[in-house]
Structure 1
């Protein structure tokens, strides 16, 4: 029998910090900004719509946790889900297939089990944490087992109601959702305060809030498909001097009016510099690419620099850079 892995009614209240409050460690074995990203935070808007703890839109209506996103190749290799604090396993599930929820029949298949495979830990004094969307067959704990902070619970997967591999972490006090980034939020403050979170000091101080961001960039030899990018098909691409060079970018939490700029520069100068049309509406995930055919004689060997930027109101919001070496 599994405990608390369904979808409940969204309620938000401030939970004042106290001596008994847990100190949470990063619940996933990855490096933020490099091998994983926080895509969505807890929703603080009590009505329809979404608002994260910093008054941004990096959430969605009724979202009750924090989503740590990874890419598919890393999921296949195995990325550990870690206990955020000492606790006892109160419930678990490890029987659901890793699959994307895209069609209506996919949603029907996970109805009532939207969390997918996962674990609930109890930490005492009414506190508990919940870990969702874990990989089938990856759980390494049992119900009633005591665990310590940082101990492996299983691995990140694609089970339950999700379209990309990620860990959804929920924190609750007496059954009520609490945002670990702003447990005392009064609904007025919109800035991140590292001194007033449930996170351990190292995580809290190192965290940088980013309302929208580029989460993946790369090169291809044709216009890539979004699904292929998400699945990591182009992650090991080797550029051919006689084939087109196409730079792509994948971003999250775009707002209407946002733009993506794609730049590719090689030994002979700028190859691509394209800024896409403004987004017509909010996009939780958005994607663009631009490229050029090779010149006569092929591309010059050397380093090619990729830069993808998200522009908001014409100003730089976030950028990601990479470099690829082309050999002949």
Structure 2
């Protein structure tokens, strides 16, 4: 049985760990464009949670880094999981269904889902979890090189969204690749000693998709993956701006604005009461009598934290 992300150890401080190994990005995607980091290693030994950037992109006891895809559609299209470093495959698991946890099926003892354990020598090992069913491309005893394809990103095991959970351990102890020595104090120096061969930017929150529609899209449709409209009828029921993102913190403000022909302007701000790993917000205005004037409409959406815009996006549609 795969030695899974099941080991209940708190993250310890380890001296002189930085620079001993080098890791490549383990998913074949571009961070900030078609993938993002949803969760980091939990650095807080108490029941609370804190990531290496002094943020909240983690949860209590999380022991790895989650490279997430924005939609289920992206997972179904296929995104490669890559070996972060060379080593020998010690164990695998395949055949677990994707989305099992979300659908309420038991994953006890198989929280990692479809996974791969790779030993790198000198007590180092990497574990890859939640791969897509039937995609594991290696077997025990295989030697893998850095960048070699191991399988596909999936949503098997205890996974609420499509992602790769990669765990790094040394002599059985959890290591945070963003701060292996556990010496950093906040986000400004998070890349100082990280183990990634190409530094990965710490991004505490982001907008995954924005759009305009004539009715509010369902959250399920957004997570599955929809293509934002480029044209809309003038006599639809409403004009709605929507946003899908990650890393929302308590007291953040989501600002949604729509501008259009003849001086049309709509604005709505929502203040968030509690943190949300993933969020979906929308607001809009009912169609006026006679319909919307023809022309271009633009949605401007911003995530505001402590009075400053931390993320923003735009979407355009034409009404004929």
Query: What is the aligned partner in structure 2 of residue 263 from structure 1?
Result: 257
Q: Which runs of 4+ in 1 moved over 6 A?
A: none
| Runs (5+) with no aligned partner, structure 2 | none
CA distance in 1, matches of 2:250, 2:232: 36
Any residues of structure 2 matched to 1:163-242 within 5 Å, and which? 163-186=160-183, 188-200=185-197, 203-204=198-199, 207-232=200-225, 234-242=226-234
| TM-aligned CA deviation for residue 18 of structure 1 | 5.4
User: Structure 2 residue aligned with 1:323, among 311, 315, 318?
Assistant: 315
**In the TM superposition, what whole-angstrom CA distance separates every residue of 1:154-191 from its partner, at most 9, and x where no partner exists?**
00111011111111111111111101111112364553
CA distance in 2, matches of 1:100, 1:192: 38
Query: What is the aligned partner in structure 2 of residue 75 from structure 1?
Result: 75
Are 2:124 and 1:127 aligned? yes
Any residues of structure 2 matched to 1:232-311 within 5 Å, and which? 232=225, 234-242=226-234, 243=236, 244-266=238-260, 268=262, 271-276=265-270, 278-294=271-287, 296-302=290-296, 304-311=297-304
Are 2:51 and 1:57 aligned? no
Change (3 A) 1:306 1:27: farther
Q: What SS does the corresponding residue of 2:189 show, helix, strand or coil?
A: coil
| TM-aligned CA deviation for residue 236 of structure 1 | 4.8
Query: What is the aligned partner in structure 2 of residue 34 from structure 1?
Result: 33
TM-score, normalised relative to structure 2: 0.91
| TM-aligned CA deviation for residue 147 of structure 1 | 0.9
For the 8 Å contact 2:92–2:116, the answer to whether it is kept is yes
How many residues align structurally?
Answer: 316
| Runs (5+) with no aligned partner, structure 1 | none
Q: What SS does the corresponding residue of 1:191 show, helix, strand or coil?
A: helix
Q: What SS does the corresponding residue of 1:185 show, helix, strand or coil?
A: coil
TM-score, normalised relative to structure 1: 0.88
Change (3 A) 1:133 1:19: closer
User: Structure 2 residue aligned with 1:110, among 85, 107, 122?
Assistant: 107
**In the TM superposition, what whole-angstrom CA distance separates every residue of 1:215-262 from its partner, at most 9, and x where no partner exists?**
222233212221211111x32534323223321112222222112111
| TM-aligned CA deviation for residue 28 of structure 1 | 0.3
CA distance in 1, matches of 2:5, 2:67: 19
Change (3 A) 1:112 1:258: same
Are 2:69 and 1:97 aligned? no
